[in-house]
Amino acid sequence: WGRRTGQDAWQFPQGGMRAHETPEQAMYRELDEETGLQPHHVELIGRTRGWLRYRLPDRYIRRRSRPVCIGQKQCWFMLRLVGDEDCFDLNRCERPEFAE
């Protein structure tokens, strides 16, 4: 997990799935986009058996944002870094999500 750019917060790499992707394909794409890590830099140890779902309490729903998020469904993956730490490239995208 990493420190968020411009925030006093920590977060795991994450993101949405494209229509044609499996959860595993989306995980590897997001991992590359946000950290620069390629599939050969990590070992997939496990994942949640199914989808994890939650609904936000009404007081946390930002009704003026578009699209309105009322909750999520997620799957989580556990990875082991098998490459060197210098494999990370946190500046892969135009607006990096994580700070060094």
Average pLDDT of the residues in 90-99: 68
* pLDDT, tens digit (0-9, with 9 covering 90-100), for 78-92: 999 998 888 887 777
Q: ∠ CA(90), CA(93), CA(97), 5° rounding?
A: 55
**How are the residues of the chain apportioned to helix, strand and coil, as percentages rounded to the nearest 5?**
20, 25, 55
Q: Residue 31, class by beta-carbon neighbours within 10 Å (0-12 exposed, 13-18 middle, 19+ buried)? A: buried
Answer yes or no: are the C-beta atoms of 13 and 2 closer than 8 Å: yes
Instruction: Report the predicted TM-score, pTM, of the whole model to 2 decimal places.
Output: 0.79
Provide the residue ranges of all domains of the chain, joining segments of one domain with +: 2-87
* pLDDT, tens digit (0-9, with 9 covering 90-100), for 22-46: 999 999 999 998 889 999 999 999 9
Q: Strand pairing of 52-55 and 77-81?
A: unpaired
Q: What CATH superfamily is the domain 2-87? A: Nucleoside Triphosphate Pyrophosphohydrolase (3.90.79.10)
